[in-house]
A and B are shown apart, each in its own frame.
Chain A
């Protein structure tokens, strides 16, 4: 006897769970579980003494990705509770380890997966939990579109702000000649925010159904300093960020 014949209600998200952004997220989480797990296990098995903190943190990252995969899968079936906590834990982990790797370089004679906010993996480790949280927010139909737009506004502002930090660091490095600590800190932060902006812009393009030239303009705005904030202002004034009907 099937569940429906027994009188159980069919989950309303079953059809939706088959196709969607979670498929891409699930593949990325599986890939990072494999990459971080294999990397950390080989390093711990062959040279654990070289960088014990970094290798252990890589193993922790692998476990986090495995749990993240489970969380996304459960959320795609309508059970979002675990994912709503797990993705924040992952984001906190990336930011904490990324900052520690910049501030306490002695702890990291070799890189971990989350060193410099995942620079060794093209900053995808930093972008992944943000993308997951945005997807999770989009699962709530009452907040989906406004959530993406809000994320776009926040990230566009953060991108401009990270430019300010990077340019300040470059000023102290090249003009004042006061060391390159500022570039070391703000370089990876700007890289992470830049990639996040690209992802969020792609999501906003789809959600707001922008024409191609607007999307290209939004992406191009990430190249010159502070232009993402200018684009956000322009998009707001011309109704490009208004709620879709």
Chain B
């Protein structure tokens, strides 16, 4: 199996999900979709990522106020966010490999790479520290991920 195998498989799943949504008002949904369907599905994942990242930032702020230390479940939530970002990145690469090109490929790919790197680096930098300031690091990383995800939507 080549490296592109799983990504193309995921991209085909994304396509089939989008195929259930009609592209024009009054038009019947067509299984299989198209380029626009792929992009719409990617956008949906990106917006879920944005909402979830903002939630993590708010919870980090609340934890800083309430407990002044980082609860273990916040790390779990952050890693779940990373999972979503990895899913978005893999599906996005699959869509790119299937022939769809953003207006600025290098910029978009840069955002995709940045999106999956930010949270692990942030968590790594505070892995031995569960103090109040480590919550600031998680919150800043979550806000950055949200901003990058918005930019991914804008550049695709």
A134-B58 Cα distance, complex, nearest whole Å: 24
With A27-B140, A31-B144 in contact, is A38–B110 under 8 Å at CB?
A: yes
Q: Which residues of A contact B107 (CB under 8 A)?
A: 42
Given B118, B121, B137, which contacts A24 in the complex, CB threshold below 8 Å? B137
A38-B155 Cα distance, complex, nearest whole Å: 15
Seen from chain A, the residues whose Cβ lies within 8 Å of a Cβ on chain B are 18-21, 23-24, 26-28, 30-31, 34-35, 38, 42, 46, 212
Q: In this complex, what residue of B is CB-closest to A212?
A: B65
Given A18, A21, A24, A46, which contacts B128 in the complex, CB threshold below 8 Å? A18
Does the CB pair B140–A19 fall under 8 Å?
Answer: no
Q: State the total of A-B contacts with C-beta under 8 angstroms.
A: 42
Does the CB pair B129–A23 fall under 8 Å?
Answer: yes
A35-B128 Cα distance, complex, nearest whole Å: 27
Does the CB pair A42–B106 fall under 8 Å?
Answer: yes
* Residues 121-154 of chain B, each 1 if its beta carbon lies under 8 Å from chain A, else 0: 1100110110101101100110010000000000
Chain B contacts with A in 87-108, Cβ cutoff 8 A: 104, 106-107
Does the CB pair B133–A30 fall under 8 Å?
Answer: no
Question: Can you list 11 contacts pairing A with B, beta carbon distance less than 8 Å?
Answer: A18-B128, A19-B131, A20-B133, A23-B133, A23-B134, A24-B133, A24-B140, A28-B140, A31-B118, A38-B110, A212-B65
A46-B110 Cα distance, complex, nearest whole Å: 14
Does the CB pair A19–B129 fall under 8 Å?
Answer: yes
Does the CB pair B133–A26 fall under 8 Å?
Answer: no
With A28-B140, A31-B118 in contact, is A23–B126 under 8 Å at CB?
A: yes
Seen from chain B, the residues whose Cβ lies within 8 Å of a Cβ on chain A are 65, 104, 106-107, 110, 114, 118, 121-122, 125-126, 128-129, 131, 133-134, 136-137, 140-141, 144
Q: Which residues of B contact A20 (CB under 8 A)?
A: 133
Does the CB pair B110–A27 fall under 8 Å?
Answer: no
Does the CB pair A30–B136 fall under 8 Å?
Answer: no
With A38-B110, A42-B106, A46-B106 in contact, is A27–B131 under 8 Å at CB?
A: no
Q: Which residues of B contact A46 (CB under 8 A)?
A: 106
| Shortest Cβ distance from residue B115 to the other chain A in the assembled complex, whole angstroms | 11
Q: Which residues of B contact A35 (CB under 8 A)?
A: 114
Does the CB pair A26–B128 fall under 8 Å?
Answer: no
Does the CB pair A19–B106 fall under 8 Å?
Answer: no
Given B110, B121, B131, B141, which contacts A42 in the complex, CB threshold below 8 Å? B110
Enumerate the 6 nearest inter-chain pairs by beta-carbon distance, A residue then B residue, closest first: A24-B136, A19-B131, A19-B129, A38-B110, A23-B137, A23-B133
Q: Which residues of B contact A34 (CB under 8 A)?
A: 114
Q: In this complex, what residue of A is CB-closest to B131?
A: A19
Q: Which residues of B contact A212 (CB under 8 A)?
A: 65
Q: In this complex, what residue of A is CB-closest to B128?
A: A18
Q: Which residues of A contact B125 (CB under 8 A)?
A: 23, 26-27
Q: Which residues of B contact A26 (CB under 8 A)?
A: 125
Does the CB pair B110–A19 fall under 8 Å?
Answer: no
| Shortest Cβ distance from residue A32 to the other chain B in the assembled complex, whole angstroms | 10
Does the CB pair B114–A18 fall under 8 Å?
Answer: no
